[in-house]
Amino acid sequence: MFVNKCHHVLSTRTSTRRLLKGVTTWKRCLTTGSREPEGPVVATEIPGPRSRSLLQELNSIQQASSVQFFADYEKSSGNYIMDVDGNALLDVYMQISSMPLGYNHPAMLEALADPVNQKIIANRPALGVFPAKDWPNRLKNVLLEKEVAPPGLSHITTMMCGSCSNENAFKNIFIWYAEKQRQGAPFTKEEIESCMINEKPGSPHYSIMSFKGAFHGRTLGCLSTTHSKYIHKMDIPAFDWPIASFPEYKYPLEENVRENQQEDKRCIAEVEELFERYKNEKRMPVAGVIIEPIQAEGGDNHASSEFFQELQRVTRKHGAALLIDEVQTGGGPTGKMWCHEHFNLSTPPDVMTFSKKMQLGGYYHLEDFKPKQGYRVFNTWMGDPSKVILLEAILEIIKKENLLDRVTRVGDYMLKNLKDLQNEHSNTINAVRGRGTFIAFNCASSQLRDAIVKKLLTKGIQAGGCGSQAVRLRPALTFTERHADIFFDALRSVLKE
C-alpha cells in the first residue's frame, strides 16, 4: 500500500495510477458539482487527538459513548466526510442512511441561501394550527408529487422523525380500528370518562403485531415493536403485543429456493396463529401489522415479494391495517423511491412511514385513516417546512440526474464485486444481499465484523454494522462505480490481511 505526501491511503493499484497523474489536490466531482477529495485521506488514527479531546468534553455533560469521531461538516464534501483531525473518509454509511446527496450539495446550499426560504426557516410554525399560506401547495407539489408519493396513497401526515412517525401512525391505526367497531356512533359518556383513567372501553386493548429482528424506533410504543438489540429495550416497560418470526433465508438464494419458500410459509402461518390467539385468548385484537421492507438495524434481513403479498392478504383477511416502515429504505436507495414498490402488492399498504433521506418524518395513508376530529394526532411542530425546502432540492437532483437509475446500476456493480469477493474469502464473508445500493454481507462472527469495520476505517472508509454479524452499506444516491472501486480496494486489502 502506498501513502503519498498528502496521506492518501489507497490500494497499490489505485495509488500508483493516481500518483502517476500527480493527483494530490481536491477535484471537482462531476456528479454533485461539489469538491471531493480524489480519494480517502488518513492523517491520524481514528478517532484522532482532537476527536478524543472533544469526546472527553462532551462526555462530561451527557452520555456520549456511542460517538465514533467528531466531524468537520464545513469541510465535508460529496461522498466524503471530514473529521476534526483532517481525515477524509469515503462514507458508505451516510449518517445511518439519511444523506441522499452526500455532504454540502450545491443545490441544497442554494436553497438555503434563498431569501424567501430563509424567512420560512426563521419562522418555524406550529403547523397544526398556524401553517403558512404555501403549505398546502408545498405538500402537493413536493411530498404528494406523482413520482414521489407511494402509488395509491393520497394523504399525508408530516412529523419530525422516524420514531414519532411510527408512534403516531399507530394512533391513526387504533383510531381507524375503533371507528370500525363503533360503526360511526359518537363517543359515549362511559368511553369519555374511562379513557381518562386508562380503562376500557375508552382505552381499548388493541395491539400492533411486529416481527423478530425489527427496529421501529425508541419511543415507548415503538419500543414494543422493536426487537433488534437488548440495549434499546432494557428496563423499559412494554406492551404485550404479538411478535411473529421474520423469514431467515439461506444464501445463496438461487440455491435454496425450496427451503426459503418453506420458511415463508412457516412465518405466514405464525402470523395467522397470532391473529387468532390475540383475538380469542388474549382479548387484545391486532389492529395493525408493522413491518420493514428490509429489516435494517436487525441485520439487513430480506423477505420475498411473495411473503409480503401473502402478509398483505392475511392482514386484510383479519380486518387489520398493514403499516410498512420505510424510514430507512425510503427515498431511493433500493433503486425505487419506496422499497415496497419491488413487491408488486395487489393494493397499496394502508400506511407507510418515512424519514431519514426524506429529511423530515411522516406517513402516507389511505383516506380512511384520516381522523374525523382535530387534535387526535397532533404536536407543536407536526413536521418542519425548512426540511421540505431541502427535500424539494433533493428530489429535483434525483430527477435531473436520474439517480434512481444510477443506484440500480451501481448497486448491480457492487453486488457482483461483493459476490466475487465472497467466493475468494468464503470463510470470512457470506450471504451477500441487497437491492440497489442498500447492501449488506455477513461475517463469520460478530468479532470479525467489528474488526473489518475498524480496519476499513484505517483505510479511509466509513462503514457500519447491523444485526449481530452484518456489515451494511448505505452510500449516497450520488455514489458511483469510481467510489465503489475505492471501497473494494480497501475491503479486498482488509480481507487479505
What's the average model confidence in pLDDT over 161-171?
A: 98
Can 72 be counted among the known catalytic residues?
no
Q: Are residues 194 and 127 in the same domain?
A: yes
Residue-range definition of the domain harbouring residue 50 = 1-91
Give the CATH number, domain containing residue 25. 3.90.1150.10
* From 356, 479, 487, 489, active-site residue: 356
Is residue 233 in some structural domain?
yes
Percent of the chain with pLDDT over 90: 93
Distance from C-alpha of 477 to C-alpha of 335, rounded to nearest angstrom? 9
Q: Are residues 27 and 126 in the same domain?
A: no
Q: What is the pLDDT of residue 35?
A: 83
Q: Are residues 80 and 120 in the same domain?
A: no
* From 12, 188, 347, 380, active-site residue: 380
Give the CATH number, domain containing residue 323. 3.40.640.10
Q: What is the pLDDT of residues 330-346, one digit of tens each?
A: 999 999 999 999 999 99
Q: What is the pLDDT of residue 468?
A: 95
Q: How many residues does the chain have?
A: 497
And the C-alpha cell for 188? 359515549
Strand, helix or coil at 417?
helix
Can 441 be counted among the known catalytic residues?
no
Count: domains in the chain? 2
Is residue 287 in some structural domain?
yes
Q: Are residues 28 and 160 in the same domain?
A: no
And the C-alpha cell for 203? 382505552
Is residue 455 in some structural domain?
no
Is residue 452 in some structural domain?
no
- Name which of 180, 159, 184 is nearest 169 in CA terms: 159
- Name which of 92, 90, 101 is nearest 33 in CA terms: 101
DSSP annotation of 335:
S
Q: What is the pLDDT of residue 34?
A: 52
And the C-alpha cell for 150? 407511494
* From 91, 325, 350, 489, active-site residue: 325
Q: Which range (16-30, 57-71, 415-429) has the least confidence?
A: 16-30
Is residue 104 in some structural domain?
no
Is residue 433 in some structural domain?
no
Sequence-ordered list of residues with C-beta below 8 angstroms from that of 147, at least 6 positions apart, any chain: 337, 395, 399
Can 325 be counted among the known catalytic residues?
yes
Q: Are residues 61 and 150 in the same domain?
A: no
* From 70, 215, 438, 441, active-site residue: 215
pTM (whole model) above 0.85? yes
Q: Are residues 283 and 367 in the same domain?
A: yes
Q: Centre a 10 Å sphere on the Cβ of residue 420 and count the other Cβ atoms it contains.
A: 13
Distance from C-alpha of 449 to C-alpha of 419, rounded to nearest angstrom? 17
Can 114 be counted among the known catalytic residues?
no
Is residue 497 in some structural domain?
no
Is residue 324 in some structural domain?
yes
Sequence-ordered list of residues with C-beta below 8 angstroms from that of 481, at least 6 positions apart, any chain: 410, 413
Q: Are residues 72 and 121 in the same domain?
A: no
What's the average model confidence in pLDDT over 154-180?
A: 97
Task: Choose the final residue of a domain: 399, 427, 450.
Answer: 399
| Contact of 96 with 162, CB cutoff 8 Å | no
